[in-house]
Amino acid sequence: MMGYEERLNLYHLVQRDSIDQGVMIEFGAFFGASTAAIQAGIKKKNSAAGLAEFYVVDSFRSSTSSSFTDHVRMHAKNQDAEFLLKEENDFVDFYDCFLENVGEPENMHIVRCLLSDFTFVDKPISFMHLDLPKEWSQLKMIVTACFPYLRVDSIVLFQDFGYQWSAELIAAVGLMLNNGNISVINLVDTTLSVKVEREFSEQDIGELIRAMSNAEEIIAGIGYSKDVVSPFFSTENRATVQIAIAQFYFSIGRISTACEILSAVLLDCAGNIGIASKVAEILGETFPHRSYE
């Protein structure tokens, strides 16, 4: 579920001169397209020396009742790989599909676990690809476990930045940008690539966690993201971020504001079927009210 340009971006960024010290880590591998792109970049850069350590973290399982499992089955069928899926205890296991695409190279550490069970070894991280968290509850675990190990010039890619369900992710990125911890490299399709400008201190992480519990600061964080990343936006990106803002307003019960935003998006993007379908998806959702400070 990752486009060719996004994979090419991974391949090139992992070869940057600044990425010499530290390990690579990916959260959310699915069938391995992004993993293979990163590994190809590592091989290209380190062909004459030992390959950099590469950690790949995914549960490789999905509940049979989850809509994500429909995607798993569809993509396995498209690759004639349905026979590699394993169904057991109300879960579909797609680990063998992943291995079919990437193998088990010596430099790769495949960590099969839920994000809540993940613990990281004490090593500097030079490259991180996040194709997993959309909500702050997920991203918070990664920030807490891994961000203290990022170094100046480390590269972090947020794959779901340009996604209509990623309001909290967009907000957290905006707060990091505003705090001076990161700067933008590029935005390719839905993937935002950033460079670490200032290491994440314990105070930085604590302040980010505090801010992400406050609805107004989340809204401000989304605004910071829009301001900084807007030079990289396509028409699709710009509209999708607006839809994500509406998604957040729906989640905190500010219905009229959410509807105003979606109306403006539809007017600005009249005739764009892709944008209209994203708006319809948001409108078709039932939002349980979420409380913030």
62: enclosing H helix or E strand: strand 61-63
Q: Residue 288: pLDDT band by 50, 70, 90 thresholds?
A: low
- Inform me whether the pLDDT recorded for 293 exceeds 70: no
The per-residue pLDDT for 155 is 97
* pTM exceeds 0.85, yes or no: yes
> What is the token pair recorded at 90?
């109300």
Query: How many secondary structure helices (H) and strands (E) does the chain include?
Result: 11, 10
| pLDDT of res. 47 | 65
The predicted pLDDT at position 121 comes to: 76
The C-alpha atoms of residue 228 and residue 176 are separated, in whole angstroms, by: 11
The SS3 call for residue 76 is helix
How large is the average pLDDT for residues 60-76?
87
pLDDT at 228 over 60: yes
For the domain 4-221, what is the CATH superfamily, name and number?
Vaccinia Virus protein VP39 (3.40.50.150)
Sheet with 54-58: strands ordered across: 108-112, 54-58, 23-27, 125-130, 150-158, 191-196, 182-188
Return the minimum-mean-pLDDT range out of 23-32, 77-86, 151-160, 250-259.
77-86
Decide if 243 contacts 272 (C-beta within 8 A). Answer: no
Break the chain into its structural domains and give their ranges: 4-221, 234-293
Mean pLDDT of 131-142: 90
**Residue whose pair of structure tokens reads 């905006």 in the numeric block:** 174
Beta strand 125-130 with 150-158: parallel, antiparallel or unpaired?
parallel
> How many angstroms separate the CA atoms of 190 and 288, rounded?
26
Among 24-28, 46-50, 101-105, 270-274, the range scoring the smallest mean pLDDT is 46-50
* Block residue for tokens 């999708």: 240
Looking at the chain, the whole-number percentage of residues with pLDDT higher than 90 is: 72
